[in-house]
Amino acid sequence: MGEVMDQLTEQQRNEVERQIAIYTQGVQDIIPSEDLEMKVAKSILENKPLKIKLGLDPSAPDVHLGHTVVLNKLRQFQENGHVIQLIIGDFTGKIGDPTGKSAARKQLTTEEVEHNAKTYFEQFGKIVDMEKVELHYNSKWLSQLNFEDVINLAGKITVARLLERDDFDQRISTGKPISLHEFFYPLMQGYDSVMLECDIELGGTDQHFNILMGRHYQEKFGKEKQVAMLMLLLEGLDGVEKMSKSKKNYIGIDEAPQEMYGKAMSIPDSLMTKYFELVTDLTPEELEKFKADIGSGKMHPRDAKMFLAKTIVRMYHGEEAAKKAEQHFVTVFQQGTLPDDIPIVVWRGAEKISVIDLIVELKMLSSKSEARRMIANRGVKINGEKVEDTNWQVTIADDLIIQVGKRRFVKLQLV
Amino acid sequence: MGEVMDQLTEQQRNEVERQIAIYTQGVQDIIPSEDLEMKVAKSILENKPLKIKLGLDPSAPDVHLGHTVVLNKLRQFQENGHVIQLIIGDFTGKIGDPTGKSAARKQLTTEEVEHNAKTYFEQFGKIVDMEKVELHYNSKWLSQLNFEDVINLAGKITVARLLERDDFDQRISTGKPISLHEFFYPLMQGYDSVMLECDIELGGTDQHFNILMGRHYQEKFGKEKQVAMLMLLLEGLDGVEKMSKSKKNYIGIDEAPQEMYGKAMSIPDSLMTKYFELVTDLTPEELEKFKADIGSGKMHPRDAKMFLAKTIVRMYHGEEAAKKAEQHFVTVFQQGTLPDDIPIVVWRGAEKISVIDLIVELKMLSSKSEARRMIANRGVKINGEKVEDTNWQVTIADDLIIQVGKRRFVKLQLV
C-alpha cells in the first residue's frame, strides 16, 4: 500500500484523503481499512474508477429509508467518479426455497424478477444516477455452473467456516435445522464478486459474513480482494428494531410528503443525529455544525427534528413539497398540540347539541355571548379543527375534544 | 408387507425363505430387514427381478479378497435371477479433489476411468456373470445437473444430518477441516439410487451412512426405498486392519496360485471361519459341517486352513491349479519347515564357493565324498531349494541357509 501512496503527488494524496473522509462517514466497519485507502489511491493514480457492488434481493422491491443508508453511500462514490454495480440476485429468486418451508422465499418468475427490478430502479433513481449504474443479474453466470463447477466452488470453503456465521451457529447450537442449500447463498454472493471483480461491497452490518465471502472467493480465484464496507443498521420509528417493512416501522421513499414528514417527526430524539448522518444528504461540515448547535442548546430538538423531516421530504419530493409538508404539519399538529392532562367529563346530555350550548354546559365559558365571541375570534376547536360557524350542531362522540382559547380543554366520555 | 406375503402360495413362501436364508448369511446389518423380505416376496409374486446396486470407486481397480465379500453376495442374488447394477463413480473420479489436498483423489481422464473399469470387470468376471450385469457410469446423470438442480438436491438434506457421519463428526470435534464439497459425495451416492431405482444396495459396514442416503433421497424423490445391506469388513492377513492394498495385508484375486495359497496359509487361525463365510463359495450346509468338524476336533486347524487356501485358489484359478499350489506348498514350505534355532556361522571365506567345499568348510559333513553322496541323494538344500548339481558354485549372501539331511541347518552371516 505504501508503494501506491508514494507514487502520488501531494495534490493526489489530498484527494485520497478527501474521498476517504467522505466514504468513512457513518460507516460501522471497513475490512480492511488500509485496503480502502490503497484502492482509492490506485484509482486516482491510474485514473480508473472503482467498482462498488451492492447486491439486491429481488423479492421485496419496496425501498424505505433503511435502504437509503447504503444508497447514499453509493451516491458518494458515484459523485467521485466511481462505478456502481447493482446485482439483482435473480438466480436465488428464481430457485425459491427448495424445502418449501419459507413462504417468503417463493419462486419468482422471470417477469416478476424484472418487474421488481424495475420498481427498485425507479426508486433508486431518486438517490443515484441510474444512467451511470451497471446493472447485473447474477443468473447470467450462476445458471451456467454445472455440478462440477459447484463442487469446485464448494471445495474452496470449509464447513467450519460456514458454521461460524452467527445464524448458522445459533441454529446448530439450538438444534434447529439448517438445510444444506442454505450454505450456498453466501457462496453465490462471494462468486458474484469474483465474476464482477468488485473493489468494494456495501451492506448492512448483518451482511458481514456474506460480504467477506467475496474477499475469500476472489482470493481463491486469484483476483484482487474487495473491501467490505459495513453500514450501520438504521433503527425504525420505534427506535428499537431495524427498519423494515414487516415491522411497520419504516418511512418509504415513495410515501406522500405529508405522511413522510409526519412519520419523520415521530423518530425518537435519541436517533436524530444517526438519521441525519445516515439518511440525509448533509455534507460532513453541515453535519458537524448541526451536532454542535444541538449540543450547545442553540437549536431546540423540536426544530432540529423539523429540519430533519423537511430535509427527508425535500430529498424525495423537492423543496416546494417539503415546505408545504412542513406548513401542513405546523397547522394541523404542532399548533394543535394537546396537553397530556385534559380533564374528562362524562356526558349524559343530548347526542347532538349546538357548539354554543356545549361550551356553556361544560362550564368552559360562563355565557352564550362569551362563547359566541370566542368562536368569532377563532378561539374554539373541536378535535383540533377550528369552529367557524356559531350555529354548528356538534355530534357527540366518545373522546371528543373541545378546546376554548389556548389553555382550556375538555374531553368527553360517553356512559 | 403382510399383504404381499398373504398373496403368495406356500411354495412361493418357501422360496422367499430359501432366498432370505442365503442373502442374510454373513451379513452384518440389513436396514430394514422387513423390507428385504417384502422386496423378495414382491419380486417372486410379480416375477420381476430385484435391482442390486454396488458402487465402485474408479481410482483403485485392483480387486482383492476384501472386495469379494460383496461380490460373492452379488453372485448369490444373480444366481437367483436378480439383476446386478454396477455403478462406476466416474463423475467423482473425473472431478478429483478440488482442494488438491488428497493425492489419492487425483483427477482421472476419461481414458483412465475406462481402463480402470475394464480392469475391474475382468476380475469381477471370476465371481459374477458379467454378461448379465448392468453397467452404469454416474457421470451420465450427474454431469447433467446444473446449479439449480444441485441446490434442489442440497435442499433435501440438513447439515446436522450430514454431520452425523462418523468421520465428519470426528473431524468437527477435533477441529480438522471438512471441505464443503465433501458433503456432496454421500448426496451423489444417494442420487444414483434415485436414478437407477435400486432395490438393495450392498457395501461394507463403513458404507452405512452413504447407503442410507439412497433411502433418504429415494423417499424425497417419491421412489420406493432401497434396503441397505451391510457386509462385515474382512480383516487382512495381519488379522487386525481391514484388508486393503495400502496396508499390504491383502490377497489379490489376480495373484499367482502359489502366492495366493501361501498368503492364505498365513491367515490367523482366529479368522478362518470368517474367511470361509465371507470369501468362499461354500454352501450354508458345507459351512455348518466345517464349523462342526473344527469344533469337535475332527478336523485339524492346519488341515482346515489348507482347505481354505485350496478353495480360494480353486475359485480364481480352477481345480487343477489349486491342486498344484497345494503340492508346491507341501513340498517347499510344509515339508521344509525350518526350525527356529538354526545355528549361525559368521562367514569370512570366499564370495563364491562350490557347494561341496561349502558343506565341508562348515563342518556339516566330514568329507567331500560324504557331501557328494548327500547331494546325489537329494539331501542338500540351499535356501529351501534342492541342490541337483555337485559342481554348483554357491554365491555367498547374508542369511543364506544350508540344509543337510532332515535336521542339520546352518545360516551364514557376513561380517
Residue B104 scores a pLDDT above 60: no
- Nearest CB to B146; choose among A145, A155, A180: A145
d(CA A279, CA A68): 6
Confidence of residue B2 (pLDDT cuts 50, 70, 90): low
Which is more confidently placed, B100 or A41? A41
Average pLDDT over residues B103-121: 80
- The per-residue pLDDT for B16 is 96
For chain B, say whether A160 makes contact (Cβ under 8 Å): yes
Contact with chain B for residue A173, Cβ under 8 A = no
Residues in the annotated binding site of B for ATP: 245
Give A188-220 pLDDT, tens digit per residue. 999 999 999 999 999 999 899 999 999 999 999
pLDDT in tens, A171-191: 988 989 999 999 999 999 999
Do A172 and B159 make contact, defined as CB atoms within 8 angstroms?
yes
Optimal mutation site among B110, B173, B180, interface A, most CBs of chain A within 10 A: B180
Mutation for testing the A interface, residue in B90, B106, B147 having most A CBs under 10 Å? B147
Share of chain A above pLDDT 90, in %: 54
Q: B250 — phi, psi (to 5°)? A: -120, 160
pLDDT tens-place string over residues B240-282: 888 987 788 899 998 999 889 989 998 998 899 899 988 998 8
Sheet containing strand B408-414, edge to edge, reads: B344-347, B408-414, B401-404, B380-382, B385-386
Q: What pLDDT is stored for residue B337 in this prediction?
A: 62
A181 touches B at CB < 8 Å: yes
The three cell numbers locating residue B105:
483423489
Answer whether residue B131 shows pLDDT above 70. yes
What pLDDT was estimated at residue A318?
Answer: 94
Q: Give yes or no for A293 touching B (CB within 8 A).
A: no
Q: What is the pLDDT of residues A99-148, one digit of tens each?
A: 666 655 677 888 888 888 888 888 899 899 999 999 999 999 999 999 99
What is the Cα gyration radius of chain A?
A: 28
Q: How far does the CA of residue B181 sit from the closest CA of chain A (Å)?
A: 5
- The edge-to-edge listing of strands for the beta sheet with A227-231 is A27-31, A227-231, A200-204, A51-56, A83-88, A134-137
Q: What is the C-alpha separation between A159 and A404, in angstroms, rounded? A: 71
Buried b (16+ CB within 10 A) or exposed e, A94-120: bbbbbbeeeeebeebeeebbeebbebb
Alpha-carbon gap, residue B404 to B374, rounded angstroms: 8
Q: What is the mean pLDDT of residues A323-345?
A: 75
Pick from A91, A158, A179: CB nearest B180 = A158
ipTM for the whole complex: 0.74
Residue B197 makes CB contacts below 8 A (sequence gap 6+) with B51, B218, B223, B224
User: Which triple of cell numbers denotes residue A129?
Assistant: 444516477
Q: pLDDT, tens digit, for every residue of B223-245?
A: 999 999 999 999 999 888 889 87
Q: Which of A273, A198, A202, A269 is nearest to A239 (CA)?
A: A269
From B145, B151, B158, residue closest to A146, measured CB to CB:
B145
Spell out the domains of chain A, with CATH numbers in brackets: 2-231 (3.40.50.620), 257-334 (1.10.240.10), 344-414 (3.10.290.10)
Distance from CA of A208 to the nearest CA of B (A): 20
DSSP 8-state class, residue A183: G
pLDDT score, position B277? 87
Residue with cell 554365491: B395
Residues of chain B positioned with their CB less than 8 A from the CB of A145? 146-147
A91 touches B: beta carbon within 8 Å: yes
B177 interfaces chain A, CB cutoff of 8 Å? yes
**CA–CA separation, A381 and A314 (whole Å):** 31
Question: Which of A130-134, B54-58, B100-104, B116-120 is predicted with the least confidence, judged by mean pLDDT?
Answer: B100-104
> A62 or B160: whose pLDDT is higher?
B160
Q: Residue A296 carries which DSSP code? A: T
Nearest to A184 among B142, B151, B160 (CB): B151
For residue B208, what pLDDT band results from cuts at 50, 70 and 90? very high
- Binding-site residues of A for ATP, please? 245
Test mutation, A91, A101, A150, chain B, max B CBs within 10 A = A150
Q: Which residue has the higher pLDDT, A38 or A245?
A: A38
For residue B380, the surrounding DSSP H or E stretch is strand B380-382
Q: Look-up: residue for cell 467498482?
A: A51
Q: How many CB atoms lie within 10 A of CB A70?
A: 20
